[in-house]
Amino acid sequence: MQHPDPNILMTIAILVTVFTFGAVIAISVTWLQSRSKIKAIEVLKAYAERGEEPPPAVADALARINWPFGAASGPPVPQPATRSVHLQHFAGSVVLTLGALAVIWWQAPAPREHPGWLMVTAIFVAVFFAAAAAARAVAAVTTPDGDR
């Protein structure tokens, strides 16, 4: 019986730890939001049992229970993407594509029966960010001159 490679076991342990930590964070945030909503419903029930309308300040505060900003501020107004924003994203996508291609070039000379997980991941990353760079390049070229 062949023993598993310790490097693979360490990689699996790290990945399991990272994904477990991410899942715990996501579940905790969802639970805390749910708890806040339940408390808001209890406040509204108390006003309903007394037959009163909640004051506008209370209703506004309860309506924004999940909003990350204060009750006085509204949601941010989205701005149209300018040419410089498109070019910034284009540059980031090009850098990530080149990094993935460097990993492919580094792994390519190794003779293997089938490509390893790093090679496959790098190929997917390179294709994804190359497509993203192409889309941003088209968007930057077609953005009207007034939106620089």
How do the domains of the chain map onto residue ranges? Answer: 1-77, 79-148
Task: Assign 29 to helix, strand or coil.
Answer: helix
Q: What angle do CA 96, 97, 98 make, to 5 degrees?
A: 90
pTM assigned to the model: 0.50
- pLDDT of 25 > 90? The answer is yes
Q: Tell me the average pLDDT across 19-45.
A: 88
Report pLDDT digits (tens) over 106-127. 888 766 667 777 888 889 999 9
Go through 136-146 and write b for each residue having 16 or more CB atoms within 10 A of its CB, e for each that does not.
bbebbeebeee
Integer CA distances (angstroms), 128 to 30, 33, 85, 139, in order: 30, 33, 19, 17
- pLDDT of 81 > 80? The answer is yes
Task: Quote the tokens at residue 71.
Answer: 């009750």
**Taking a C-beta distance cutoff of 8 angstroms, is the pair 97, 129 a contact?**
yes
